[in-house]
Chains A and B, each alone.
Chain A
Amino acid sequence: MSNPENILEVKDLKVHYPVKTGILQRVTDSVKAVDGVTFEVPRGKTVGLVGESGSGKTTTGRAIVKLAPITSGTIWYNGEDIGNLGKKPFFPYRKKIQMIFQDPFNSLNPRMRISRIIAEPLDIHFKDMSPSDKMDRVVELLKKVGLDESHVNRYPHEFSGGQRQRIGIARALAVEPEFMVCDEPVSALDVSVQAQIVNLLKDLQDELGLSYLFIAHDLAVIEHISDDVLVMTNGKIVEQASAEDIYENPQHDYTRKLLSAVPKL
């Protein structure tokens, strides 16, 4: 059914939210956040998912990691159907698939020290690891994302947006994932910091062989980081092509509209 070269395959994914009205909370309608989406992510590659707000791109990313309820469709991860797994059987995949979030000011618990933030996934997935091993791993991860060992005992508010995003990446890397859903990881950052994070993600991919689903609204960033690009609007993917083709030879009207709206330098 699935191609072994793909780490992820999504087929006809739908996420519909019921609209309830009245005192009896009867379901009268549904919001089709994601309405029949099909795509694949080749192993070791980056697939960019671009769209405007409300297009369903974030919901698509969240549905893959079961943070949004799937109405119908199939998700294969390494040839295994994970879309219809229950909570328990899905648990091992929580280690393999990680997520990086958009808002670096919101994605770290303000009341936790950096060491605890990064060690939290280790506490869950590597229960046998000794505290000193965990600490070593945290320090190693901090170095990997370009932060200093001396940062371990600080709190998130002591860091800039770019540094926080690095911490978020270190947390995601802690459990040695194979696949990462990056949900607008650079949208809230300054351009110079954005460049650093994008470079870091690319370096990590080269080093660790990660595969990314990179969600963003900035076409230029998407084009830069992605091998393949998916253009999404109104819950549907309207165009799917390589990064070069999307820019040089857009097929769909919406893609053209999107490209022409970007003020060029």
Chain B
Amino acid sequence: MTRQIFIRLLRNRISLSCLIILALLYLCAIFAPFLSPYPPSTQNLKKAFHPPTAVVFKDWKLQVKVYENIDPSAAQYQAIEGETIPIKFFTGGKLFGLDTEDDQARIYLLGSDSTGRDVFTRLLHGARVSLTIGLVGISITMTLGFVVGALSGYLGGKFDSVMMRYVDFLLAIPTLYLLLALRAAIAPYFPSDKMFYVIIIALAFITWSSSARVIRGMTLSIRQRQFVLAAENMGQGKFAILFKHILPNVSSYLLVAATLSIPNYILGEAALSFLGLGIQEPEASWGLMLSQAKSMKVFMLNFWWLLTPGFLIFITVIAFNILGDVLRDIVDPKMKTTS
């Protein structure tokens, strides 16, 4: 079944392109230290808000132009005519770097930020946080959602009513307030470089409730089906029924729901980090990088490269959503809106 779903995903042109985009993004995240020219926190205060360095082809080599700062107050840079530094590949454990002794020289494929850190490098390293937060978070959410939902649906009675009232309670609080409150409650127990875990716990705590409710409903309907009665009749235990008979029959829903809620995690992390409550400097995450773009200076002086994390968030979220939609059409053809 899972294999069939995957084959059909590959056959569909739209989902295939989404899968390719996501695969590329995740590969970039995995190989971030190799692909990026600098460590993520290397600064160069003389080159704050440096624009992307132009790459030219000269003397049979790829070379980058050298820039000089013409107006430090407005961070205005200008390329120096004729002066270039060649790019060296596979150097010092990196994919590429500059072939120069000058340790102030930089290659900024996507410009630099307020402390002269390479945005390209930080995007790759930030992807590690932003992209894994969705996967780790969703596995917590779905496990919790399945266990609570399926137990409620299958056992019924007191457990069910207590759990479902609790879910109602969680769903009744505006998400952002709940997120902020949880963050405030958990954060003191973690050092600032472990904020990653705080965010996952907080987000997982919020998102499991809605999937638990759906799974409870599905369990209620599956448990009426005669194969569950048959299993009860042969003396199968409660947990065996839950995992052998109910889980495989809600798994396709879980898969779709998981794919469609990964964006919530990515956006949730972005929102928290944007507010300064998520990943802390000098770590990198897309939301944190985007928060730099909220300063007035960036807006006024048009440092567009500082918005690239936003663009990546956009691409990732869209890709996951489309993938989820296609998955749902495969798993549940009745939901299909177009032929």
Contact = CB atoms under 8 A, between A and B. Distances in A.
A67 B236 contact: no
A107 B226 contact: yes
Interface stretch (A109-117, A136-144, A222-230): A109-117
A171 B233 CA distance: 11
B233 A103 contact: no
Interface stretch (A14-22, A34-42, A46-54, A119-127): A119-127
B249 A111 contact: yes
Interface stretch (A90-98, A211-219, A231-239): A90-98
13 contacts: A62-B229, A95-B235, A98-B234, A101-B226, A103-B226, A106-B225, A109-B227, A109-B231, A109-B244, A111-B249, A112-B244, A121-B234, A125-B235
B168 interface: no
B231 A120 contact: yes
Given A103-B226, A106-B225, A107-B230, A124 B248 contact: no
Given A110-B249, A111-B248, A124 B226 contact: no
Nearest to B245: A109
Interface residues of B, number: 17
Contacts, number: 58
B232 interface: yes
A117 to B, nearest CB: 8
B236 A120 contact: yes
A102 interface: yes
B234 A175 contact: yes
A67 B227 contact: no
A94 B227 contact: no
A108 interface: yes
- Measured as residues with beta carbon below 8 angstroms from the partner, the interface class of chain A is 20 to 34
A111 B235 contact: no
Nearest to A116: B244
A150 B276 CA distance: 62
A65 interface: yes
A125 to B, nearest CB: 7
B1 interface: yes
A99 interface: yes
Contacts of B231: 109, 120
A94 B230 contact: no
Interface of A: 62, 65, 67, 91, 94-95, 98-99, 101-103, 106-112, 120-121, 124-125, 168, 171, 175
A124 B225 CA distance: 20
A168 B226 CA distance: 11
A60 to B, nearest CB: 15
A124 B235 contact: yes
Nearest to B234: A121
B235 A171 contact: no
Contact of A94 (B226, B235, B244, B245): B235
Nearest to B246: A109
A91 B235 CA distance: 6
Contacts of B233: 65, 67, 94, 98-99
B280 to A, nearest CB: 45
B232 A67 contact: yes
B234 A94 contact: yes
A110 B227 CA distance: 9
Nearest to A104: B226
A252 to B, nearest CB: 31
Contacts of B234: 94, 98, 120-121, 124-125, 171, 175
